[in-house]
Amino acid sequence: MSCPSVPRNAAYRVRASITVAMVSRTMRGIPVEVTLGPEDGMPDQCAVNLDNILTIPKARLMDRITTLPAEKMVAVARAIFFALDLPATL
């Protein structure tokens, strides 16, 4: 499993921790997942699972795998809203 960071770049410059979500080759097609693949900069087809969001020390990160485009991050945001049972509009 890999852990791409969920961006808040300005805050992460001064914080010692970073928020990440688990990525796995297991894809179940559920609303908390966003599929990723080579077209997104990932080495293989996979899914980021937004049921598994956690904060880890930045020191644990090694290399950035990819930066997702805005439209993929919109899908990530939708999956987070679904995972946390948040209203579609705040």
This prediction's pTM: 0.78
Q: Provide the residue ranges of all domains of the chain, joining segments of one domain with +.
A: 9-83
Per-residue pLDDT tens over the stretch 21-53: 999 999 999 999 999 999 999 999 999 999 989
Which segments of 1-90 are extended strands (E)? 17-24, 33-36, 46-57
Closest CA to 36 of 7, 79, 84, 81: 79
- pLDDT at residue 2 greater than cutoff 60: no
At residue 88 the predicted structure's pLDDT band, cuts being 50, 70 and 90, is confident
Topology classification of domain 9-83: SH3 type barrels. (2.30.30)
At residue 19 the predicted structure's pLDDT band, cuts being 50, 70 and 90, is confident
